[in-house]
Copies of this chain bind each other. A is one copy, B any other.
Amino acid sequence: MKTCSSSYTCPVEATIHLIGGKYKAVILWHLRNQVLRFSELHRLVPKATTKMLTQQLRELESDGLISRTVYPVVPPKTEYALTEFGQTLLPVLESLCDWGTIYLEKISDADCSF
């Protein structure tokens, strides 16, 4: 999962390395039009444990795709948002979403009967 020092043979590989994590693309997708707190994200991605969610968020952060803002209040409050650089991913995410929609239609027809 190290991002650095990996030499990629092609750009596609690099992008997948950044957003191909189990929940990363979904997280970015949910952040596309809103700032979200940790618990809000967790509600949107319930399959992720807090550990996984934290891990993926930290990786996205260290890759410069999202920002993490901690408010020193009680109870704690943390907000996650797309960075400017993260926003450049929006066309990619939309294309993933569009194709996924078509794919889901396709398999709901066949309904996986094998």
Q: How distant is the Cα of A68 from the Cα of B26 in the complex, in angstroms?
A: 31
Q: How distant is the Cα of A101 from the Cα of B21 in the complex, in angstroms?
A: 19
How many A residues, CB 8 Å from partner?
Answer: 40
Q: How distant is the Cα of A14 from the Cα of B22 in the complex, in angstroms?
A: 11
* A-side interface mostly: helix
CB pair A11–B95 under 8 Å, yes or no, is no
CB pair B11–A103 under 8 Å, yes or no, is yes
Q: How distant is the Cα of A109 from the Cα of B13 in the complex, in angstroms?
A: 19
Which residues of B are found within 8 Å of A12, using beta-carbon distances? 25-26, 29, 93, 96-97, 100
A interface residues, Cβ below 8 angstroms from B: 4-5, 8-16, 18-21, 24-26, 29, 44-45, 47, 85, 88-89, 91-93, 95-104, 106, 112
